[in-house]
Structure 1
């Protein structure tokens, strides 16, 4: 049985610049950057839990904040101004994922 993949909006607020860079690099490998601290992630509920757990190990939980919300998808977001997606659309790992996302966004 295949688990359903969903979209999630992931955002962080990290006080220490070194921790912030570490988490940012980690999320860029696994999610689509929208802004400096905001990402879209596509995966199963188990995948987002693993992503959040791994990223949380890089945080100081007394100072930092990491959150994820289920969303309909990037095409449902209202975006104005300069964002990272407009500069260069880069998705992690699977190249087909980029093409599907790009086609889906353009069809809206």
Structure 2
């Protein structure tokens, strides 16, 4: 199943909250404005259509990137979880 990283930069705090709530309905948050969506192209398209209805295209920025099926996964910097804690919320397809 395909996986997508969706990120956004929303200029208005009220729109930002609305977009964040809507994104939480479709995908798993990795950071406040970065989400992981594992699903079909149709699921991605539905998510982006919902977000497009909430933003102002001239002021806000939403980007979606398809992750390669067998791409490199790594992390640089401080771990987000304490040593020994594993987040099992990631779908098996990418964990």
- Counterpart among 75, 78, 81 of residue 78 in structure 2: 81
- SS at the partner of 1:76? coil
Consecutive unaligned residues of structure 2, counting only runs of 5 or more, are none
The 5-angstrom pairing of residues 1-108 of structure 1 reads 5-72=1-68, 76-81=73-78, 83=80, 86=81, 98=89, 101=91, 105=95
Segments of 4+ moved more than 2 angstroms: 77-83
Return the alpha-carbon distance in structure 2 between the equivalents of residues 80 and 59 of structure 1: 31
- SS at the partner of 2:91? helix
Specify whether residues 21 and 77 from structure 1 end up closer, same or farther in structure 2 by C-alpha distance, changes over 3 A only.
Answer: farther
C-alpha contact 2:22 2:50 (8 A) present in aligned 1: no
Consecutive unaligned residues of structure 1, counting only runs of 5 or more, are 91-97
* TM-score, reference length from structure 1: 0.69
